[in-house]
Copies of this chain bind each other. A is one copy, B any other.
Amino acid sequence: MFIIHGSSRENGNTEQLTKMITEGISVSEVQLRTKNIRPINDQRHAELGFQPVDDDYEQISKEMLEHNTIIFSTPLYWYGMSGLMKNFIDRWSQSLRDKELNFAEKMKTKKMYVVIVGGDNPSLKALPLILQFKHIFEFVGASFEGYIIGKANSPGDIRLDSNTIQQANALNLKLKNEN
């Protein structure tokens, strides 16, 4: 299982929630805030195509491809995923053109989960983001297995969102059984 953390804050509410979901499960994970990931430079139509970029994207994406289950864990920033995570996903356009990667082939088999924590009525206002992830996963042919939307404002508040914690525990059980 591979976790992509999109939060800019260490051990924030979203990370805490994701930890509950993956407790007792062996995971690989990346905190995007600790990495250097350049925005996509759309060279799909450039004569020479995409040029290599000297940053951490390629290594992270390759690690991602090795796992069957991927968790996208992001706070709800301005009613979307964080820019950190969006830049990571934008770069998939480059990976899709990399003939050696077999990116498209490998993504098709993956099981995707989304974990979001927001402060402003997220059970309603995160729904456009869920719909966006639906399109993303459909495009690469991956299976959107589930999502959890938590509510928290101040640090640690996610522990007060009992309904979400219950869902996290249930998902934890499910993932343990699958693993």
Contacts and interface: CB of A to CB of B under 8 A. Distances in A.
Interface of A: 7-9, 12, 33, 39-42, 45, 75, 77-84, 86-90, 92-93, 120, 123-125, 127-132, 134-136, 139, 144, 146-147, 154-155, 162-163, 166-167, 170-171
Contacts of A135: 78-79, 125, 128
A20 to B, nearest CB: 15
B42 A7 contact: yes
A49 to B, nearest CB: 13
Please name the 3 residue pairs, one residue from A and one from B, whose CB atoms are nearest each other, closest first. A83-B87, A83-B86, A128-B131
Number of identical monomers bound together in the oligomeric complex: 4
Contact of A128 (B9, B86, B88, B132): B132
Contacts of A124: 130-131, 134, 144
Contact of A120 (B90, B131, B139, B162): B139
A92 B42 CA distance: 25
A83 B134 CA distance: 18
